[in-house]
Amino acid sequence: MRLKFKHLVPGILSVAFLIVPARLVQAQINLKSVLDRLDASAANFHSASADFEFDNISTDPIPDTDVQKGVVYYDRKSNAVRMGVHMSEHNGKPSGKAYTYIGGEFKLFEPLQNQVTTYSKAGKYESYVILGMGASGKDLQAKWDIADLGPETIDGTNTEKLELTAKDPDVRKNVSKVTIWVDPEHAVSLKQVFTMSATSSYVATYKNFKFNASLPSDAFTFKTNHQTTNHTQ
């Protein structure tokens, strides 16, 4: 038996080496198909809205989850992306916080402080923004190394699970990888997991999408007044 098994080993190994490359080739074929579909869908993407839940999760030193809920709005004109996030709930309590991303500027409105803070150098993080809505396959490839982890169904929608690693080393210092569940037919992510470290992650989930419909007039603005203070960082 030992002799026979010894003779079988080279054959087993040769088959294994053939199977692994075949799987890699198929994964690359699947990825190309997904990216091509994203390119086609992104060309027809103009606007979208969705309900969201954002979870900041820490497991060390003390396990903790910070939960925010609300509505997010996106629109795209040519290569310009706008995002508006309006929170309705923070850890189970009402919240009126909101933030926007427009023209490379990130603005945060905190109603309790009646303050708007502008982050003028936020353009380098646009690759995070376009993960949400309307990103083409070319957009993703420009900023990320992509691995296709296969299809999954989320809330009845067929998605493709992609693992992204930032090409920018500065981004990788803060986010080791991002996993997204993308709907190639609409160029949106239904779920995103940002892995910051072994003990810290950020999970975003989206549902109740509306595509290419008119957005509210205040989708990308805040309800400020003459007492609102403004700060820049």
By the 8 A CB rule, do 186 and 45 touch? yes
**Per-residue model confidence as pLDDT tens for the chain (233 residues):** 444 555 555 665 555 555 556 666 677 788 999 999 999 999 999 999 999 999 999 999 999 999 999 999 999 887 788 999 999 999 999 999 999 999 888 999 999 999 999 988 777 777 777 776 888 999 899 989 999 999 999 999 999 999 999 998 888 888 899 999 999 999 999 999 999 999 999 999 999 999 999 999 999 999 999 999 999 98
Q: pLDDT at position 1, please?
A: 47
Chain segment 73-100, per-residue pLDDT in tens: 999 887 788 999 999 999 999 999 999 9
Q: What six digits make up the tokens of 191? A: 């779920």
Q: What six digits make up the tokens of 71? A: 């509505």
By the 8 A CB rule, do 202 and 191 touch? no
- Domains of the chain in start order, with CATH, are 6-221+228-232 (2.50.20.10)
- Paired strand residues for 117: 108, 231
Chain segment 138-167, per-residue pLDDT in tens: 989 998 999 999 999 999 999 999 999 999
Q: pLDDT at position 50, please?
A: 96
pTM: 0.86
Express as a percent the part of the chain with pLDDT over 90: 70
Distance CA 6, CA 228 (A): 79
